[in-house]
Structure formats: C-alpha cells, structure tokens
C-alpha cells in the first residue's frame, strides 16, 4: 500500500471517529439536560406544585398570568387589546370536569351548546287525533299535532378573583392551579344552586321553583301553560308522613313515572335525606338502599342511582326533598360556547384582577319526566 493511500485511510478513520465522538457528546448533553429537568420537576413537586403533564394551554396560561412574554401565548386567542384570553384545550376541560363533580344536575341533565344568547328547543307533547271508520263511512277531518318552540336563555356566570403582583412574580406559586381551583369552586357552587333553586331571573330556573300538583291530576297534554315552559307544573307524590318517608311512598314515586322514562331515571336528594333512606328495611330486614362499593359508582335505591344535591331541602314537614325522574329528558342545560378571562393590572396598583365569565342557562323542558316526593300530606282541594 502506498503512503498516500495509507494517509487517506487514516484521515477517513479520524473523521469517522470525530463524528462518532461528537454524536456521543451530543447524547451526553441531552442526557444531562433530562437529568436537570427531572431534578427541577422533583423540586417543584416537593414544593407542592403539580407535575409537568399539563398541556401547552395550561403552561401558556400560567406564563401569561405571571406577566411573562413568551411565544407560548400564541396558543391562546386574544382580543384586540391583548387583555382577553379565550381559554381552550386541557385547562378549560379540567375546570369543566370539576364543575361536573360538584353540580349533580349537570351530571344527569341534557346539556346543549349555543352560539347566541338563547337556544330554542322543539317540544312535541301531543299527537294527531284518529278514529275507527267503516269502509263506506264518512271520514271527518281530525286535529293535527304541532310542535312548539321553547326558548332557553343563557345568563352570565362569572368569578372575579384578584392576586397581588408579588404573588404573580413568585416563581414558586402556581398561579394557573390556584386560579383553576378558585374558578371551579365558585362556578360549581353557583351552578349547583341555580339548577336546583334558581328563580330564572338572571340565572337558570331551578326545579324547586316550579309549582307542584298531585300526580293523579297531572296531565302535561292538557296543561294550560302549553307554550310557556317557565309555568310548567310537576307531578308530586306525597309520603303521608310529615318530614318522613315510607317504602310505599318510594314505590309510588317510581310507579308514577311512565315506563318509557324509567331507563336512565335517577334519584336526587340531600345527604341527610339519603341517610334516612339508608335505614329503611323490608320485613326480612333487607335494606331498600344499596350502598356502592366504588366512589365512581353512585348508590342505588330500588335499583336506580342516587345523586346527592346539597341544595335540596333536608327532611322536614312538606319539604320537596326527594326527586326522581329521567333528568336527560326532563331538564335541559344550555351552555354558551367558550370561557373568557380578562386580566386587569391597572385599576388597582399592586394587584392583578381576573374576570372570568361564561354564560349558561337551564330549565325544565319535559315535566312529565320528573316527579317530586313531598314529605307530608297531600293538600286538600
């Protein structure tokens, strides 16, 4: 082998070795960087901060709330003045899930979306007239059934927390997690109360605000308030015991609901009412109430799931404490698309205020699908 060829071979070998060493060094740097991130993550968790599995929306919101300038802000849509942020993605979903956990009506009701200030739903509670006729008999015109439109308005639901600039500037304070918990608690509490007891003025109309009639006299098809869902009446069953309930009253409540509504039906009551029902037993000392062995599965009463609504009244004379029905058919919740957060760091020096809002509404859309068990005697006519 000539000397020139030998030198060329040595040079090529040196270049390959140099490239290999460079790759190894790059891999070592990447490994060191990962070790540093793991160490940072461990320290953050030690201080009580959440792990970094949060998506880019959550990280961008956290950085935005601290006042940082970052390219991550591009993942949020802003208003012209740069103050309003439309929360999307994983951060908004996490808030919504927490609202579900604290608002029992939202778990079981029919939830719809709208892009305007109201949603009109179609209701058909009639049927065309018909009759028998002989082959050559006269066939008179029969009445037809037409659907009606029911308008469900949405109302503004807001929270207005504030925090000092010092807290925002403290890198050890998880602003996104704090604000998320704050909004979830506020929104969940207000929604749960409104869907149960809201009067419909600037808020959803709750089930407790509807008039009750003895179920034997209830007939949705003949109701004079056919076109006004805010004036619906709901059929009531009476326990016959002031502030107490009997097994017969529970059976009567289930039987009062038409069979088409039974699939998907559920009970709703307060925790104190549930505690009283737990003690009911049959002649063989078997409880009517079946306790769940899992947190994710509700208890059952007479085979139907039980949901707790602390805004419902506790057992007392003539209280509307126990509700039963197919909530997906009976109650409709309408959500306005999106949630907005506006930051204000000017009107109060040293503080940053966050105005969070979204719009929601709700009302009974099918009173035939809901029944109320009143703990008392049926009123005399």
Domains: count for the chain:
2
62 shares its domain with 168: yes
- Rounded to 10 deg, the angle between the 56-65 and 175-197 helix axes is 100
89 shares its domain with 192: yes
Q: Which two tokens stand for residue 146?
A: 């037409």
Domain assignment of residue 308, yes or no: yes
Cα 247 → chain centroid: 32
**What CATH number corresponds to the domain at position 170?**
3.30.2400
253 shares its domain with 117: no
Helical (H) or strand (E) element with 152: strand 148-153
Helical (H) or strand (E) element with 118: strand 118-123
Identify whether the C-beta of residue 107 lies closer than 8 Å to the C-beta of residue 74: no
SS3 state of residue 188 = helix
Q: Which residue has the tokens 């308008």?
A: 151
Domain assignment of residue 44, yes or no: no
For 250, phi and psi rounded to 5 degrees? -65, -45
| Full domain range(s) for residue 188 | 56-124+147-197+334-362
* One pLDDT digit (tens) per residue for the chain, 381 residues: 566 777 677 677 777 777 777 777 888 888 777 777 776 665 554 444 444 555 555 555 556 555 554 444 444 444 444 444 555 555 556 666 666 656 689 889 999 888 888 887 777 666 666 778 887 788 887 766 666 777 889 999 888 888 888 877 775 667 767 777 777 777 888 888 999 999 999 999 999 999 999 999 888 766 555 556 777 899 999 999 899 999 999 999 999 999 999 999 999 999 999 999 999 988 888 899 988 888 778 899 999 999 999 899 999 999 999 999 999 999 999 988 667 778 888 888 888 888 888 889 999 999 999 999 999 998 886
189 shares its domain with 259: no
Q: Which two tokens stand for residue 342?
A: 């506006």
185 shares its domain with 250: no
Domain assignment of residue 28, yes or no: no
85 shares its domain with 102: yes
Q: Which of 81, 85, 83, 38 is nearest to 57 (CA)?
A: 85
CB atoms within 10 A of CB 57: 20
**What global pTM score does this model have?**
0.70
Q: Which of 213, 258, 217 is nearest to 236 (CA)?
A: 213
Burial class (CB in 10 A: 0-12, 13-18, 19+), 209: middle
- Rounded to 10 deg, the angle between the 89-102 and 56-65 helix axes is 90
Q: Which of 123, 268, 122 is nearest to 207 (CA)?
A: 268
233 shares its domain with 260: yes
Domain assignment of residue 51, yes or no: no
Domain assignment of residue 371, yes or no: yes
223 shares its domain with 320: yes
191 shares its domain with 61: yes
């Amino acid at each position: 082998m000539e000397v020139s060829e030998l030198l060329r071979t040595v040079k090529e070998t040196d270049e390959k070795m140099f490239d290999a060493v460079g790759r190894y060094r790059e891999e070592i740097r990447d490994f060191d960087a990962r070790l540093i991130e793991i160490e940072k993550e461990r320290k953050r968790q030690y201080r009580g901060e959440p792990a970094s599995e949060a998506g880019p929306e959550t990280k961008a919101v956290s950085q935005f709330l601290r006042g940082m300038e970052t390219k991550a802000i591009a993942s949020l849509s802003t208003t012209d003045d740069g103050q309003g942020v439309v929360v999307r993605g994983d951060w908004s979903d996490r808030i919504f899930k927490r609202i579900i956990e604290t608002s029992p009506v939202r778990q079981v009701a029919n939830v719809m979306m709208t892009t305007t200030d109201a949603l009109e739903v179609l209701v058909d509670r009639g049927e065309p007239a018909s009759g028998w006729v002989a082959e050559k008999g006269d066939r008179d015109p029969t009445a037809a059934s037409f659907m009606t439109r029911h308008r469900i308005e949405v109302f503004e639901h807001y929270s207005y927390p504030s925090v000092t600039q010092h807290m925002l500037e403290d890198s050890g304070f998880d602003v996104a997690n704090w604000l998320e918990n704050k909004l979830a608690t506020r929104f969940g509490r207000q929604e749960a109360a409104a869907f149960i007891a809201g009067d419909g003025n600037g808020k959803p109309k709750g089930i407790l605000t509807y008039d009750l009639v003895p179920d034997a006299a209830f007939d949705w098809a003949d109701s004079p308030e056919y076109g006004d869902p805010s004036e619906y009446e709901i059929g009531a069953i009476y326990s016959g015991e002031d502030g107490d309930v009997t097994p017969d009253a529970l059976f009567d409540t289930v039987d009062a609901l038409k069979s088409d509504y039974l699939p998907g039906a559920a009970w709703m009551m307060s925790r104190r009412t549930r505690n009283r029902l737990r003690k009911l037993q049959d002649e063989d000392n078997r409880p009517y109430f079946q306790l769940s062995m899992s947190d994710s599965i509700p208890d059952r009463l007479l085979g139907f799931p039980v949901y707790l609504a602390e805004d419902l009244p506790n057992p007392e004379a003539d209280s509307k404490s126990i509700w039963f029905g197919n909530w997906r058919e009976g109650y409709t919740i309408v959500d306005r698309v999106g949630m907005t957060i506006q930051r204000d760091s000017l009107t109060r020096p040293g503080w940053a205020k966050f105005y969070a809002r979204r719009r929601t509404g709700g009302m009974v859309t099918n009173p035939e699908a809901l029944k109320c068990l009143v703990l008392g005697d049926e009123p005399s006519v």
